[in-house]
Amino acid sequence: MANYDVIVIGGGPGGYVCAIRCAQLGLKTACVEGRETLGGTCLNIGCIPSKALLHASHMLHEAEHNFVKMGLKGKSPSVDWPQMQSYKDDVIGQNTGGIEFLFKKNKIDWLKGWGTIPAAGQVKVGDEIHEAKHIVVATGSEPSALPGVEVDEKIVVTSEGALSLAKTPKKMVVIGAGVIGLELGSVYARLGAEVTVVEYLDTITPGMDKDVAKTFQRILKKQGINFVMGAAVQNVETLKTKAKVNYKLRKDDSEHQIDADTVLVATGRKPYMDGLGLDALGVALTDRGQIQIDGHWATNVKGIYAIGDAVPGPMLAHKAEDEGMAVAEVLAGKHGHVNYDVIPGVIYTSPEVAAVGKTEDELKAEGRNYKVGKFSFMGNGRAKAVFQGEGFVKMIVDAETDRILGCHIIGPAAGDMIHEICVGMEFGASAQDIALTCHAHPTYSEAVREAALACGDGAIHA
Ligand code: NAI
């Protein structure tokens, strides 16, 4: 007799959501987590704490730049870094505590410690071996190492150290103009640091729609962030309290150096599966080192499943959550499904950037016949009232059927607005379906409707 129907290894968004869904579907469930608190990277050292710092730094920016314009006079606030850190820690505590409560409510056993899988059907935590019919690996990811760069999480930091710096930096170099680099770089720029982003490619945020990437970089530059593009970081030298970042420009191989008191390494993440014992079990990996799975999240070893950052696909908390729910349905004998074509991506800067579906470049490469409808937030009354007129909504539709193929937004609350399009795409909506739907005035979402109108007879306020 197995102790459990399911043991989930990892208590991040993939793992804890999977455990809750398994329990809701009547399966006896445990979740193994070695951290002091549940929630994984996302809640402890990722999405949630970074949003607290983004919010606080955004408030400071508003006070410094926009209060006077609105007739709010007086001294701008100054940064009390220890208090900002404790606000961030409170936010983490509320969220991780919430997951612990949900585990109790759903009668999920939290097996505290780091799990290994000695054999299919068994999970060892500490000295104890627990048995389960099904094991779900949801162990997430960790920052990839960059050759020549040694991380000490004090001067040279990953996203984890960047959230808990001893003080706010004066000069910060960010290696990599991806999501992490730009989100955290913009936090410290708003808190007063001189931030320089060094990026290997010629455009920021690889994979993003080119129009959006161009506008995004222009806005970030205006906010004071410096960019060195087409530059490969060679190594970082650390002195007592400073670092020197050495890079080569790809166009002419010339060598350069920048000083910093903090260097953030944000050059990607890789699956984390240390100590699980997958090798010995013969669990197959892809050539990129991710756990190989079939359409039901099953590995090649019977009874072992895997989800989230440890398997192929975008490394996003919400993708992991969807997989967690879907694999729970499969284990309960139902039909779990994830539509990988409709997974939104959001960058939480100010303004936010959000996208779902295809980019123009992808459609061109596929030889598709498409139409674009674009609408600037300068034509949106609500955005202008709050100094957020920069940016646009770009909708891409099939030229013949008008069916939405993708949507790319840079502007206020883009990360929330994108879901109208996600729902639309799930239901096979056309731009006209969005255009004919009444949108409340005055809202940012009217810009989405205007972009849909621009796919047809034209936007009204353009
Ligand atoms: P990323 O893959 O988004 O960007 C890394 C950047 O570093 C690339 O632009 C790459 O060209 C550059 N790079 C690599 N080596 C370099 C070198 N030697 N010199 C200069 N530049 C170099 O990686 P990032 O930002 O670390 O994020 C990791 C993962 O976490 C991503 O999959 C991301 O989607 C996910 N994430 C998502 C968030 C969100 O959805 N808001 C927030 C944080 C992370």
Residue nearest atom 3 in ligand 1 by C-alpha distance: 178
Using the mean position of ligand 1's atoms as its centre, give its distance from the Cα of residue 143 in Å.
Answer: 9
**Residue 316: CB within 6 Å of ligand 1?**
yes
The closest-lying atom of ligand 1 relative to the alpha carbon of residue 266 is 26
Using the mean position of ligand 1's atoms as its centre, give its distance from the Cα of residue 199 in Å.
Answer: 10
The closest-lying atom of ligand 1 relative to the alpha carbon of residue 143 is 26
User: 163-214, pLDDT tens digit by residue?
Assistant: 999 999 999 999 999 999 999 999 999 999 999 999 999 999 999 999 999 9
Using the mean position of ligand 1's atoms as its centre, give its distance from the Cα of residue 119 in Å.
Answer: 35
The closest-lying atom of ligand 1 relative to the alpha carbon of residue 309 is 32
Using the mean position of ligand 1's atoms as its centre, give its distance from the Cα of residue 182 in Å.
Answer: 9
**Residue 201: CB within 6 Å of ligand 1?**
yes
The active-site residue out of 256, 337, 441, 461 is 441
The closest-lying atom of ligand 1 relative to the alpha carbon of residue 247 is 19
Q: Which of 180, 208, 290 to mutate to test the pocket of ligand 1 (most atoms within 8 A of CB)?
A: 180
pLDDT of residue 1: 47
Using the mean position of ligand 1's atoms as its centre, give its distance from the Cα of residue 402 in Å.
Answer: 33
Q: Residues in the chain with pLDDT < 70? A: 1-2
pLDDT of residue 92: 98
Q: Which of 250, 267, 270, 319 to mutate to test the pocket of ligand 1 (most atoms within 8 A of CB)?
A: 267
Q: Hey, how many other C-beta atoms are within 10 angstroms of the C-beta on 60?
A: 18
DSSP 301-345: STTEEE-GGGSSS---HHHHHHHHHHHHHHHTTS-----TTS--E
Using the mean position of ligand 1's atoms as its centre, give its distance from the Cα of residue 419 in Å.
Answer: 23
> What is the side-by-side order of every strand in the sheet holding 243-249?
231-238, 243-249, 255-260
What is the CA angle 209-213-219, rounded to 5? 145
pLDDT of residue 271: 98
Catalytic residue flag (residue 441): yes
- Any residues with CB less than 8 A from the CB of 362 and at least 6 apart, and which? 406
pLDDT of residue 2: 60
**Rg, C-alpha atoms of the chain:** 23
How far is the C-alpha of 347 from the C-alpha of 353, rounded, in Å? 5
Question: Above pLDDT 90, what percent of the chain?
Answer: 98
User: 222-231, pLDDT tens digit by residue?
Assistant: 999 999 999 9
Q: Which of 269, 270, 318, 321 to mutate to test the pocket of ligand 1 (most atoms within 8 A of CB)?
A: 269
How far is the C-alpha of 245 from the C-alpha of 174, rounded, in Å? 10
Residue nearest atom 43 in ligand 1 by C-alpha distance: 180
Residue nearest atom 35 in ligand 1 by C-alpha distance: 315
